[in-house]
Amino acid sequence: MSNLCLGVMDSGMGGLTVVDLLHKKYPEIKIVFLGDNANMPYGDKTKQQIMGFVKNNISFLSTFSIDGILIACNTMDSNCYQSIKDNCDIKLYPIIQPTCQKAFQISKNKKIAVLATAATVKSNAYKNSLERLDRQIEVKQINGTGLVELIEQNKNCQNLLEKYLSPLKNSDYDTLILGCTHYPLLSDKIKAILPNIQLVSSSEELVNSLHITKRDNITVCDVDYYVTANPLPFNDIASNIFGYPINAIIANRKE
């Protein structure tokens, strides 16, 4: 039996939080990662622009013998998934739905906050998905503009994070969704600011949503990393963050 092969796509290194979890849980899966850092961040782009990026990403990943693609970007999911899922020849794994399911399960008072990019907040994808689970859920969406860029540049984002999360400090919201795959990299900082709020990582819930039978006597597969712009700063920062070598190369694709 050949190994399963999955593509993982994101605007940048946030998707590596998904790759890291996926590879640790299912080392037998071949992973092809694409970070579209040439167009990062997606959060300040229009829906039409994001749709174009996503189609290009899928087109590139489709050149590999993959069995499915994980949408490791909440902005992609919130703006494109519903439009493209039925017309895509490859199975797509969305990130927002399983994340909402987890938040709904663990919230004790039905008050859930979402920290996400501007484009994800504007789409109301999280609000609508949570309210479909229960109309009584109270959703507070927080625009995290600027955080992705700081993470990608390995710069301090403490002040901006404090600013965005300050409305939750004395609130009764008991759950915060990290609605961008970059944000789990800030989990420790967020926990320090909001020690009494439980966090839901969209990266973790995307991986948890996969129902794959683990096999004995597996062959551990490598991860192939691709980016759409200069890989050197990407590799340096990503390797430093994750603690192991990440050697992405330029994706040779047609725009």
| Residue-level pLDDT, tens digit, the chain, 255 residues | 468 899 999 999 999 999 999 999 999 999 999 999 999 999 999 999 999 999 999 999 999 999 999 999 999 999 999 899 888 999 999 999 999 999 999 999 999 999 999 999 999 999 999 999 999 999 999 999 999 999 999 999 999 999 999 999 999 999 999 999 999 999 999 999 999 999 999 999 999 999 887 766 677 888 999 999 999 999 999 999 999 999 999 998 655
Instruction: Compute the distance between CA of residue 250 and CA of residue 151 in angstroms, rounded to an integer.
Output: 21
pLDDT tens for each residue of 195-231: 999 999 999 999 999 988 776 667 788 899 999 999 9
Alpha-helix residue ranges (DSSP H) falling in 37-146: 47-61, 74-76, 82-84, 96-106, 118-123, 125-133
- Quick one: pLDDT at residue 1? 47
Distances (CA, A) of 67 to 2, 133, 143: 11, 29, 34
CB 76 within 8 A of CB 131: no
Instruction: Compute the distance between CA of residue 143 and CA of residue 118 in angstroms, rounded to an integer.
Output: 5
- Quick one: pLDDT at residue 17? 97
Distances (CA, A) of 8 to 100, 139, 234: 20, 28, 16
Q: Which two tokens stand for residue 203?
A: 């990266």
Query: Within 10 Å of residue 227's Cβ, how many Cβ atoms?
Result: 24
DSSP-based three-state secondary structure for 98: helix
- Quick one: pLDDT at residue 216? 65
Displacement of CA 159 from its chain's centroid (Å): 23
Which has the closest alpha carbon to 249: 30, 32, 8, 70? 32
Catalytic residue ranges: 73, 180
- Quick one: pLDDT at residue 3? 80
Instruction: Compute the distance between CA of residue 20 and CA of residue 93 in angstroms, rounded to an integer.
Output: 17
Instruction: Compute the distance between CA of residue 247 and CA of residue 60 in angstroms, rounded to an integer.
Output: 18
